[in-house]
Amino acid sequence: MTAPTAASARYRDVFGVPEFRTLFSLQTLQVAGDSVRTIALSVQTYERTGSSVWAALVFAAGMIPYVIGGALLLSLADRVPGRRLLTGYHLLRFAVTAVLALGGLPLPVVLALLVAVGLFAPVGGAAVQGRLPALLPGDGYVLGRSLFGMTSAGAQIAGQAAGGLLLSALTPAGTLWLAAASAALATALARLRLPDVPPAARESSGLAGETWRTNRSLLGTRPTRGLLLAAWLPISLSVAAEGVVVPYAAGAGRPDAAGLLLSAAAAGMLAGNFVVGRLVPPGPRERLTLPLALLTGAPLLVFVFEPGLPAACALMAAGTFGLGYELTVQRRLVDAVPEEIRGRALGLSGSGLMTGQAAGIGAAGALGELLAPGHVMALCGAATVAACLCLTRSLR
323 touches 296 (CB < 8 A): yes
Q: Is 17 left (phi over 0), alpha (psi -120 to 50) or beta?
A: beta
What does DSSP assign to residue 198? P
Residues whose CB is less than 8 angstroms from the CB of residue 326 and which lie 6 or more positions away in sequence, other chains included:
149, 231, 235
3-state secondary structure 125-154: HHHHHHHHHHHCCCCHHHHHHHHHHHHHHH
In tens, the pLDDT along 36-91 reads 888 778 777 777 777 767 777 787 777 667 667 766 777 777 778 888 999 999 99
User: At CA 143, angle to CA 141 and CA 147, rounded to 5?
Assistant: 115
Confidence label for 241 from pLDDT (cuts 50, 70 and 90):
very high
Query: Residue 277: exposed, middle, or buried by beta-carbon count in 10 A (0-12, 13-18, 19+)?
Result: buried
Query: Residue 162: exposed, middle, or buried by beta-carbon count in 10 A (0-12, 13-18, 19+)?
Result: buried
Burial call 126-142: b when 16+ CB within 10 Å, e when fewer: bbbbbbbbeebeeebbb
Angle between helices 207-220 and 222-239 (to 10 degrees): 100
Confidence label for 101 from pLDDT (cuts 50, 70 and 90):
confident
Instruction: Give CA–CA dist 299/312, Å, rounded.
Output: 9
What predicted TM-score, i.e. pTM, was given to this entire model? 0.68
User: Read out DSSP for 369-391?
Assistant: TTS-HHHHHHHHHHHHHHHHHHT
User: Which residue, 105, 107, 140, 110, is CA-closest to 20?
Assistant: 140
Q: Which range has the worst mean pLDDT, 209-213, 314-318, 358-362, 372-376?
A: 209-213
Length of the chain: 396
In tens, the pLDDT along 214-223 reads 778 888 888 8
Confidence label for 165 from pLDDT (cuts 50, 70 and 90):
low
Instruction: Give CA–CA dist 232/353, Å, rounded.
Output: 5
Give residue 9's pLDDT. 46
Instruction: Give CA–CA dist 54/62, Å, rounded.
Output: 14
User: Which residue, 335, 255, 250, 239, is CA-closest to 296?
Assistant: 239
Instruction: Give CA–CA dist 375/97, Å, rounded.
Output: 34
259 touches 156 (CB < 8 A): no
Instruction: Give CA–CA dist 122/86, Å, rounded.
Output: 11
